[in-house]
Homo-oligomer: A and B are copies of this chain.
Amino acid sequence: MMPTDPLVLEAQLCFSLYSGERTVGAAYRELLAPLGLTYPQYLVMLVLWEDDGQPVSALGRRLGLDSGTLSPLLKRLEAAGRITRRRSDGDERVVRVHLTDDGAALRADAVSIPGHLASRMPLTAAETGELRRLLGKMCGHDA
């Protein structure tokens, strides 16, 4: 019984993750193209649909992204007419991100996406749940 070489590509979790993320990303890209959203932009919109008017910092905390990523992304969403950015009244440092009517309406077109994606993935609902659980545990989301 030979021990598996630890440096074989497929033996490394990193490659499964790397590869899996890009596979799912490609599927989302396809579904999101009609909405005129990229995959990260969709994630930002999800957070805004949950709770409109959040500061940039809150979006960053929720998604694990910093201003270096969010600032230009939000600028593009603003240019596309999906959001507006306004300095907060109380604290001029914070920029609050608000949905436009167009941005809020986009939610209706997005509700079907998780279902479409689940149906095209060769995993059962139980497997998907287990996958989410393991990924969450991996990131230290204690549960």
Residues in A lying within 8 Å of B, measured CB to CB: 6-9, 11-25, 28, 39, 43, 46-47, 49-50, 62-64, 107, 110-111, 114-115, 117-118, 121-123, 127-128, 130-132, 134-140
Contacts and interface: CB of A to CB of B under 8 A. Distances in A.
Contacts of A19: 63-64, 135, 139
Contacts of A12: 46, 114
B132 A13 contact: yes
A115 B6 CA distance: 8
B139 A23 contact: yes
A21 B123 CA distance: 19
Contact of A22 (B28, B50, B64, B140): B64
Given A13-B131, A15-B46, 19 more contacts: A6-B111, A7-B107, A9-B46, A9-B47, A11-B114, A13-B24, A13-B117, A16-B136, A17-B17, A17-B24, A17-B135, A19-B135, A20-B135, A21-B21, A23-B64, A23-B139, A24-B138, A123-B134, A123-B138
B132 A127 contact: no
A17 B21 contact: yes
A117 to B, nearest CB: 7
